[in-house]
Structures are given as structure tokens and as C-alpha cells.
Amino acid sequence: MSGYLDRNWETFPMHKLMRVDQPTTKIVPDKIRRVTERESGFCKAAAGDYGDRLQKEFRRFVPKFPISGAIAWMRDNMQPFRDGHTAAKTAPLPDNPIQLSRHIKETAYFLRADSVGVCELPEYAVYSHGFSFKNMDAGETPTRLQHKNAVAILVDQDERTNHAFAGNDWISNSMSMMSYATSGFIAITLAEYIRRLGYAAKAHYAPYYDVLVPPILLMAGLGEMSRIGDTVLHPFMGPRFKAAIVTTNMPLHPDKPIDFGLQDFCARCKKCARECPSGAISDGDKVMHNGYEKWPVDIKKCATMRVGNQHGSGCGTCVKVCPWSKPYTPFHRAINWTMRNVPVARRFGIWGDDLMGYGKPDNAQKWWFDLEDKNGDGFLSIPRSYRK
């Protein structure tokens, strides 16, 4: 289900958002050099680019906490099922890509996605080369993916846990892993369904992507690029989600990008930059980088904080403190509407968010036990607890 036992055909009123022809982040496709997976912060950490200590930490930073470890184990179990046999004959479906897009989205919502969008797969969003930190000996291998369209499937990282945690304590990685594994489960099932309809389809989810996620989310109208580096922000979940992608040759009608005023909001707010424990997020202006105009981020600082964190597992402080990371209650929906539609109200919203104490951990809601597998031998002990 979509995140609601009582839902409309989509979980959130995405159809009420302003649609635009181009993403609010300037993209110059001609200037974009296709990137290789190896360039991501995690791959660099795994490959030793950030030093021996971080390379060693990389192997344990998810399994050192048993919830993230168990979810990542399940996520990895599903990896062999990302692709499969396509039926030899296409099914007798309506000859209308708009209807097919709606149907594929409805199916993803039925499988309990929280937000779904469709776009043409931009060539620049396909990795030039893949790199597996589970099989680094294989090196970089050219990506072969000829699919025309992409379906993006978002899963919330759990608002309740986001409210409870400090940003970089022991549960942090588990929130990512839960959304990775759950969106992966949905994408794998959806891709198999599309293949049964007679169209090639492949599921991509962390860390098994042939594609770069952020441009797909922008083109599929699921969010705008935010100040948090390379992170697309959803109008109703904020940055509190992970995405899986299904690429396919099924004829689908693309969604259009959205504009809900985030470029103006992020230009003013800067709360993520202020609270980032690693100083990775810039409080300055946007810059052009590889054909995208966006706020810069220091991926080395970010990866070092997340992988090397000795007082927790991972880090999602930016997700925790973002004023858009709120529950979907009537009160917050009203504020959300105002932030999207009344530009002059934004400065008061940003001021009010701090004033109300949002972004602080709520210890009364903490439901997990701090535990650490210190030596990678499966023996759990109580770590020095970390609280801001």
C-alpha cells in the first residue's frame, strides 16, 4: 500500500503541484559527462580513495548495528532477481501510453510505494561504467542499458523514527536500508510484472544501480534538487526517502518536472548546512558542475562522516533537520501548502521551524537499542551512546 490504509490512487496529491517543462535545476545535457559508479562517495571509500581506515570501516559500517545489518542482508538476498526473462509476446494492452503510465503507477502504489513518477530515461543518467564494492576485483565494467523509460519508486524512511533519532546515532543507517530494501522489493516485483507483459524491464536499487537517481527523480516530477548535496527533496516527504528505479522499454507517458518553490526556500533556509556534523553541505550559492547548476557538496566529508561514524551507524542529520521532513498531518499539510504557495511566508516558516524546536531528537520516542558488533564477529556489545 501507498503508506496509507486509506489512500487516493496516489498517496500524496502530486497532481496538485505546479508542473514545468524543465526542472528548476538548470541542466545542460551537452555539458554533462556521463559518470561512472566508481565516482560515488561510498565506492571511493570502499576502494580506498579515502584511506585505509575508511576502507576498513566501510566493510562494517552497516552490519555493525544489527537492524541495518539484517535489512542489508535481505536487500542483498534479492539482488539476483533484478532482471529476468521477458515474455515473447506483448500483452494486449490499451494503445495509450498515458493509460499505461497510470496503470504502472497504480501497480506500484498497490505494492505499497509512497510516491511514483515516470520519465524518459536521460542518456546522461545511465552510468558509463558500473562498479561493485561487493566485487571490486571485477573493476569498472561498461554499463549496457538500452531502456527508454524509467519508473521511480520512493519509500519513506519512517517519519516516526526520523522524529525520534538524533541524526547520526545507531538507527540512522537502518532508516536508509529499510527504504532501500523495501523500494527494491517493489521495483523487483514491478519489473517482473512488466516483463510478463512482454517488455524488457530491470530493477535498480541501492547499491545495485545502473543509473544515477537524482536526474531521474527531477525529470519524473518527484522533487526539486535541494541544498543537501545531490539530494532531491520531495514536496511531502522532504529528503526522508530512498528511491528504486525500474527501467523499461514499455511505452509510457512521462510526467513533467515540478516547481514548489524549493530553490527559493533552500537559498534562505540553510539549516542542513548549519547542522551537518561533517561540514559537507555548503551555505553558499549554486555552482555549475558537470552540466548541472546546483549547491555543491563535499562528498569526501559526507562519506567520511557516514562511513567513519564511531558513535552511530551512518548519518542522516540533513534528513533529520530539514524543515520539509514532517509528518503528513493536517497541521503540517497546511504549513506545507503555505511554504509551497506563499513565497513571503517562507522566512517565517524557516524561523518558526527552529523556534518550535524541530530537528531535535525526541528521546521519549526512541524504540531501538544501541548495540555494536565491534569486531565483526557477530558479538554485540553496548557502544558508547551518542547524543548531541
**What three-state secondary structure class fits 365?**
helix
> What does the alpha-carbon distance between residue 225 and residue 160 come to, in Å, rounded to a whole number?
24
Closest distance between a second copy and the C-beta of residue 146, in Å? Answer: 22
Task: Kindly provide the residue ranges of all beta strands, DSSP E only, lying in 62-127, ordered along the sequence.
Answer: 115-120
C-beta closer to a second copy: residue 198 or 277: 198
Residues 184-243 interacting with a second copy (rule: CB under 8 A): 185, 188-190, 192-193, 196-198, 237
Nearer to a second copy, 156 or 224 (CB): 156
- And the C-alpha cell for 332? 503540517
For residues 24 and 257, the answer to whether their CB atoms sit within 8 Å is yes
| 5 belongs to the binding site for a second copy (CB under 8 A) | yes
Count of CB atoms within 10 A of residue 98's CB? 10
Give residues 318-377 in contact with a second copy (rule: CB under 8 A).
327-329, 365, 367-369, 371
Using the minimum distance from each CB to a second copy, give the nearer residue, 60 or 196.
Answer: 196
Closer CB to a second copy, 9 or 351, in the complex: 9
Other Cβ atoms less than 10 A from the Cβ of 34: the count is 14
Q: Interface with a second copy includes 61 (CB under 8 A)?
A: no
**Nearest distance, CB of residue 365 and a second copy, angstroms:** 8
Please choose, out of 98-106, 129-137, 303-311, 336-344, the segment that lies near a second copy by the rule CB under 8 A. 98-106
Q: φ and ψ at 347, to 5 degrees? A: -65, -35
Q: In the set 77, 96, 310, 385, which binds a second copy (CB under 8 A)?
A: 77
Q: Does 151 bind a second copy (CB under 8 A)?
A: no
Specify the residue, 241 or 265, whose C-beta has the smaller distance to a second copy. Answer: 241
Instruction: Using the structure block, give the residue that is written with the C-alpha cell 531528537.
Output: 361
Q: How far apart are CA 225 and CA 218, in angstroms?
A: 7
| Residue 253 within binding range of a second copy, rule CB under 8 A | no
Minimum separation from the CB atom of position 151 to a second copy (A): 14
Maximum Cα–Cα distance across the chain = 60
| Three-class secondary structure assignment of 7-66 | CCCCCCCHHHCCECCCCCCCECHHHCCCCCHHHCHHHHHHHCCCCHHHHHHHHHCCCCCH
Among 119, 153, 178, 281, binds a second copy (CB under 8 A): 178
Using alpha carbons only, how large is the chain's radius of gyration in Å?
Answer: 20
CB-CB contact of 267 with 28 (8 Å) = no
8 Å CB contact between 219 and 205: no
- Asked if 385 interacts with a second copy (CB under 8 A), we say no
> According to the binding rule CB under 8 A, does residue 161 interact with a second copy?
yes
Q: Interface with a second copy includes 384 (CB under 8 A)?
A: no
Is 370:385 a contact under the CB 8 Å cutoff? yes
By CB under 8 A, what part of segment 272-311 binds a second copy? none
Contact between 87 and a second copy by CB under 8 A: the answer reads: yes
**Of residues 104-123, those binding a second copy (CB under 8 A):** 106-107, 110-112, 114
Told to check if 83 binds a second copy by CB under 8 A, we report no
3-class SS at 3? Answer: coil
DSSP states of 279-329 as a string? --B--S--EEETTEEE--B-HHHHHHHHHH-SSSSS--HHHHH-TT-----
Selected from 25, 182, 231, 282, the binder of a second copy by CB under 8 A is 182
Q: Which is nearer to a second copy, 183 or 263 (CB)?
A: 183
Rule CB under 8 A: is residue 3 a binding residue for a second copy? yes
CB of 69 to a second copy, least distance (A): 6
* Using rule CB under 8 A, residue 381 touches a second copy: yes
Of 25-33, 37-45, 159-167, 204-212, which segment contacts a second copy by CB under 8 A?
Answer: 159-167
Determine the Cα–Cα distance for residues 84 and 203; give it in Å rounded to an integer. 10
Q: Which of 200, 207, 109 is nearest to 152 (CA)?
A: 109
Torsion of CA 180, 152, 24, 256, to 10 degrees: -160
Binding residues for a second copy, per CB under 8 A?
1, 3-9, 11, 66-67, 69-71, 73-74, 77-78, 80-81, 87-89, 91-94, 102-103, 106-107, 110-112, 114, 156, 158-161, 174, 178, 181-182, 185, 188-190, 192-193, 196-198, 237, 327-329, 365, 367-369, 371, 378-382
